């Protein structure tokens, strides 16, 4: 189910390399689809508080490691301090997870214990890491070592449990911790420094066994790429995606923005614009059909059935086309007739796409014929994550260049005025 693998260990190496060489090898790996879910009859306030405090302390600890003061002089970065601070922040976080493996409510306790055991090799690796070993260890480091179906399933159930019982989703698997905490803290603290590195930021280099982190050699060239024809490497992924290479669609999603991203998240227009992240290869080439066929999809199904609309949307984005899993997701857990409106927006009652709201429809029509002010109004006034918002944003980009919005309307299954 995982789209892409990268580890905490490797991330630290890449970030340190960026800050000490003036050219970064760091890239942000998107988190995998979380699988969830067990619920309790009553929220456990103590467990929720403990998790929230640990979550906050982790973010604070990583922010401290990557503080601008520690990188004031890139030529003399104290790697020993970084190693110690980084290891301590991770270890303390998972100390809390281990404690909850003994004290959490019975319905989720075993999952905390399973995660604590699964991350022990990672903790051991961090504890033995020496300054100066970052780059030399990357090629020999296998991220699969710390990722198992059991770990992903337990972590998914914990995330769903916290979402339903604590009003916040807490990530505990290493890959999610990396993407949601470590890079957020590092880039928040060092954003100014990274900007100074210029075009070197995003050069992936030789990552060996870290997995396929992207076909793009320099992400600095992709930020401003809007649509097909703007970037040769993105164009190559687009063309492969368009010819049923759905792994290329997934790669394009993680490598691009704007209409390139819209094209990829709809799997070249073969999947409705529905979820923020659609696993195109799973949608088209997955074999799981119904409950019991896939542990991670089962977890999402359970969480969706328990009333978590976000899990329903994740289930749609990850389940094979035409499967019972997908059908269940489109009903938001049997709460409505099958629909292509995301469950999160259905739950709120907000309009999603053309035909749902006359005022937004009027802005869509005006925007589609080149009125960039109407596009801006549509983007800013429409619900977050809606097709209305996506149309306003992407059509404006084309309108500013004097190009029509046909491709955007087609991908969002709407009209051009």
Give residue-wise pLDDT tens across range 12-29: 444 444 444 443 333 333
Neighbours of 102 (CB within 10 A): 10
What is residue 211's predicted lDDT score, i.e. its pLDDT? 36
Q: Is 118 a domain residue?
A: yes
Q: Is residue 283 over pLDDT 80?
A: yes
Percent of the chain whose pLDDT exceeds 90? 34
Are 284 and 246 a contacting pair, CB within 8 Å? yes
Q: pLDDT tens digits for 309-319?
A: 888 998 999 89
Whole-number pLDDT of residue 135: 42
In a domain, residue 197? The reply is yes
Q: What is the mean pLDDT of residues 124-139?
A: 55
Distances (CA, A) of 244 to 238, 269, 407: 10, 11, 18
- The answer to the question of residue 133 being in a domain is yes
Domain boundary among 152, 178, 210: 210
Report CA-CA distances (Å) from 262 to 134, 191, 269, 402. Answer: 36, 26, 9, 20
Cα 297–chain centre separation: 17
Distances (CA, A) of 197 to 21, 44, 192, 286: 9, 46, 9, 41
Helices 246-255 and 258-265 cross at an angle (nearest 10°) of: 150
Whole-angstrom distance, CA of residue 334 vs CA of residue 323: 15
Residue where one domain finishes, among candidates 210, 238, 264: 210
The answer to the question of residue 296 being in a domain is: no
Q: CA 330 → CA 170, 292, 319, 344, distances in Å?
A: 25, 19, 11, 11
In the chain, the number of structural domains is 2
**The 3-state secondary structure of the chain, one letter per residue:** CCCCCCCHHHHHHHHHHHHHHCCCCCCCCCCCCCCCCCCCCCCCHHHHHHHHHHHHHHHHHHHHHCCHHHHCCHHHCCHHHHHHHHHHHHHHHHHHHHHHHHHCCHHHHHHHHHHHHHCHHHHHHHHHCCCCCHHHHHCCCCHHHHCCHHHHHHHHHHHHHHHHHCCCCCCCCHHHHHHHHHHHHHHHHHHHHHHHHHHHCCCCCCCHHHCCCCCCCCHHHCCCCCCCCCCHHHHHHHHHHHCCCHHHHHHHHHHCCHHHHHHHHCCCCCCCCCCCCCCHHHHHHCCCCCCCCCHHHHHHHHHHHCCCHHHHHHHHHHCCCCCHHHHHHHCCCCCCCCCCCCHHHHHHCCCCCCCCCHHHHHHHHHHHCCCHHHHHHHHHHCCCCCHHHHHHHHHHHHHCCCCCCHHHHHHCCCCCC
CA nearest to 372, candidates 349, 351, 403: 403
The total number of residues shown for the chain amounts to: 417
| Residue bearing the bigger pLDDT, 239 or 350 | 239
Choice between 234 and 216, residue whose per-residue pLDDT is larger: 234
pLDDT the model gives residue 106? 87
Q: Report the range of poorest mean pLDDT among 140-144, 167-171, 332-336.
A: 140-144
Q: 79-93, 203-217, 251-265 — which one is most confidently predicted on average? A: 251-265
pLDDT value at 140 more than 70: no
Mean pLDDT of the 279-296 span: 90
Q: What six digits make up the tokens of 23? A: 């050219």
Q: What is the pLDDT of residue 58?
A: 81
Contact predicate 361/355, CB 8 Å:
yes
Asked which of 168-182, 271-285, 321-335 is least confident by mean pLDDT, the reply is 168-182
CA atoms within 13 A on the CB side of 64: 15
The band of 275, judged by pLDDT with boundaries at 50, 70 and 90, is low
pLDDT at residue 183, as a whole number: 59
Rg (the chain; Cα; Å): 22
* Residue 389 lies inside a defined structural domain of this protein: yes
Quote the pTM value: 0.58
Classify residue 262: in a domain, yes or no. Answer: no
Q: What is the pLDDT of residue 288?
A: 92
Show the tokens assigned to 186.
């590092």
Mean pLDDT of the chain: 75
- Per-residue pLDDT tens digits for 373-408: 999 999 999 988 899 999 999 999 999 999 999 999
Residue 134 lies in a domain: yes
What's the whole-number mean pLDDT along residues 320-337? 95
Cα 218 vs. chain centroid, distance in angstroms? 20
Q: Does the residue 417 lie in any domain?
A: no
pLDDT confidence tier of residue 146, bands split at 50, 70 and 90: low
pLDDT in tens, 37-70: 334 334 455 888 888 888 878 877 777 776 666 6
CA proximity to 120, closest of 148, 81, 158:
148
Q: Is the dihedral of CA 39, 42, 44, 48 positive or negative?
A: positive
CB 174 within 8 A of CB 7: yes
**Of 148, 181, 210, at which residue does a domain stop?**
210
| pLDDT score recorded for residue 394 | 94
pLDDT the model gives residue 349: 83
Q: Each residue of 87-111: pLDDT tens digit?
A: 788 888 888 999 999 988 888 899 8
| Closest to 38 in 3D by CA, of 114, 146, 121 | 114
- Domain that residue 385 falls in: 358-411
pLDDT for res 125: 73
């Amino acid at each position: 189910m995982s789209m892409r693998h990268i580890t905490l260990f490797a991330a630290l190496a890449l970030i340190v390399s960026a800050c000490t060489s003036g050219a970064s090898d760091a890239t942000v790996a998107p988190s995998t689809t979380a699988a969830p879910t067990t619920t309790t009859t009553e929220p456990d306030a103590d467990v929720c508080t403990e998790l929230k405090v640990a979550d906050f302390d982790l973010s604070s600890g990583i922010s401290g490691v990557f503080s601008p003061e520690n990188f004031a002089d890139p030529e003399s970065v104290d790697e020993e301090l970084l190693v110690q601070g980084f290891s301590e922040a991770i270890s303390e976080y998972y100390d809390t997870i281990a404690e909850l493996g003994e004290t959490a409510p019975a319905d989720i306790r075993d999952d905390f214990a399973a995660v604590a055991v699964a991350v022990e090799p990672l903790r051991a690796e961090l504890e033995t890491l020496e300054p100066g070993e970052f780059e030399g260890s990357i090629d020999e480091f296998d991220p699969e070592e710390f990722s198992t179906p059991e770990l992903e399933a337990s972590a998914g159930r914990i995330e769903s449990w916290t979402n339903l019982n604590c009003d916040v989703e807490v990530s505990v698997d290493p890959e999610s911790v990396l993407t949601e905490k470590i890079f957020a803290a590092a880039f928040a603290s060092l954003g100014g420094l990274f900007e100074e590195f210029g075009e070197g930021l995003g050069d992936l280099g030789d990552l060996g066994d870290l997995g396929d982190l992207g076909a793009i050699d320099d992400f600095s060239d992709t930020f401003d790429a809007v649509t097909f024809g703007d970037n040769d490497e993105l164009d190559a992924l687009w063309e492969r995606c368009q010819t049923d290479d759905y792994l290329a669609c997934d790669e394009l999603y993680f490598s691009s923005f704007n209409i390139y991203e819209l094209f990829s998240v709809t799997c070249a227009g073969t999947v409705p614009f529905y979820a923020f992240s659609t696993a195109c290869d799973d949608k088209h080439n997955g074999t799981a059909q119904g409950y019991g066929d896939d542990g991670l999809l089962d977890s999402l199904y359970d969480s969706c059935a328990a009333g978590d609309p976000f899990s329903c949307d994740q289930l749609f984005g990850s389940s094979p086309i035409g499967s019972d899993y997908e059908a269940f997701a489109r009903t938001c857990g049997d709460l409505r007739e099958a629909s292509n409106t995301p469950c999160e927006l259905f739950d709120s009652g907000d309009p999603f796409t053309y035909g749902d709201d006359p005022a937004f429809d009027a802005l869509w029509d005006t925007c589609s014929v080149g009125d960039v002010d109407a596009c801006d109004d549509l983007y800013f006034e429409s619900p977050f994550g809606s097709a209305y918002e996506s149309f306003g944003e992407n059509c404006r980009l084309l309108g500013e260049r004097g190009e029509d919005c046909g491709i955007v309307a087609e991908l969002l299954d709407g009209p051009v005025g």
